Copies of this chain bind each other. A is one copy, B any other.
Amino acid sequence: MKAFAIGAVAAAASFAAAAQSSVTLFGVVDAGVARVSATGKGHVDGLMTGGNYTSRLGFRGVEDLGGGMAASFWLEGETATDVGTSAGLNFVRRSTVSLSGRWGELRLGRDYTANYVPFLSFDVYGQRGIGTIEHFATAAGALTVNGAAASDIRNSNSVTYFLPANLGGVYGNLQYAFGERSSSTVASATASKKQGNYAGASLGYASGPLNIGGGYGNFSDVSRAAAYLTDYSIGSLGASYDFGFIKPIFLYQTERADGKLGQPDFKFDTIAIALSAPFGASTVRATYHSYNNKTAGTAGNNDAAKLSLGYVYNLSKRTALYADVARLRNKGSASFVIGGLGGSVVAGAPTAGGTSTAFGVGIRHSF
């Protein structure tokens, strides 16, 4: 994902007062061949997009305002290498404008939620591909956040403050996002003027080989399965230690949906252990994680666990070949299928308590 600086030379000529400014065109084009299987659904062979990194296209830039201040922007959208992004290019991955200085960064627009930052950075697969830690955030029924399909991954309409980089390894952010509901909304079982408002934060410490961080976020009065309101909150904690030849990683996440007006609560936990081991141009990655239903009355009925192993061979800093294999085992009534391929190769949900397996090989090219 090393970006490609365009026009830096021309910029210097055009804007003498902003000599360090740049605009960058960047992206990833990643495709491979995969087979996904699920109990009772056979298997599907197909072309996967983004088996290693999410395929994407973006534009970003920084303008030096002097005195340590900078303005910057970032527009990034997912592409589907397999079908040509037939749904059209958008910038839903990130769309922000920022002002930054020695005091930190103020960022406005659409971006990752504060709670998702640790989940993303402590997943050795970077939340993509066959081996990734599955993010079953909607397991208890579809959530609607800000009027759109549920996701605790990114917030539209967000205002985020980031700590500056010079705090001796401490990093973090503080985020608020608007649900944009009218103050005249009449409260009911499914409506609230606070619906979709979000508040979250993350905090971490990275120094030398150690990285540890956590995040928390709360969505107010989101609707669950279009039936009733719930406060949805999510917290995560991760840690890694880089021994050089091997880097073990630990990740924990807990999600709670607090039903209102007598509706049931839900609670789910994810625990993951992973490692990444570089040698020469290669990296081996392995992950085990379990997803546990802790909801009172149904605890354990909707659990799943996944084991994955992957290999990346770097042809250059920008280009790699990769191979991944994973097996997901459901328990009770759970019927999760291996995702992480952008929906492009899908075997369908296995029968309850069934398994899903996947393997694939591909090429990833960043620019």
Task: Report which A residues bind B (CB closer than 8 A).
Answer: 2, 4-11, 13-15, 17-18, 21, 23, 25, 27, 29-33, 40-47, 49, 57, 59, 61, 63, 65, 69, 71-73, 75, 77, 79-99, 106, 108-110, 148, 154, 156-159, 177-178, 180-185, 193, 315-319, 344-345, 347-348, 362-365, 367
Contact = CB atoms under 8 A, between A and B. Distances in A.
Nearest to A158: B47
16 contacts: A4-B10, A4-B11, A27-B59, A33-B159, A42-B182, A46-B178, A47-B156, A47-B180, A57-B59, A63-B365, A73-B367, A79-B95, A84-B110, A84-B156, A97-B365, A108-B362
Contacts of A315: 65, 69, 71, 99
A363 B99 contact: yes
- Sorted nearest first, the 3 A-B pairs with minimum C-beta distance are A42-B184, A88-B88, A42-B183
Nearest to A364: B97
B318 A63 contact: yes
Contacts of A6: 6-7, 10, 23, 25
Nearest to A83: B156
A272 to B, nearest CB: 28
Given A6-B6, A63-B367, A90-B89, A182 B109 contact: no
B17 A317 contact: yes
Given A4-B14, A99-B363, A363-B108, A92 B81 contact: no
A91 B97 contact: no
A248 to B, nearest CB: 30
A29 B17 CA distance: 20
Contact of A83 (B9, B71, B110): B110
A343 to B, nearest CB: 11
A49 B267 CA distance: 36
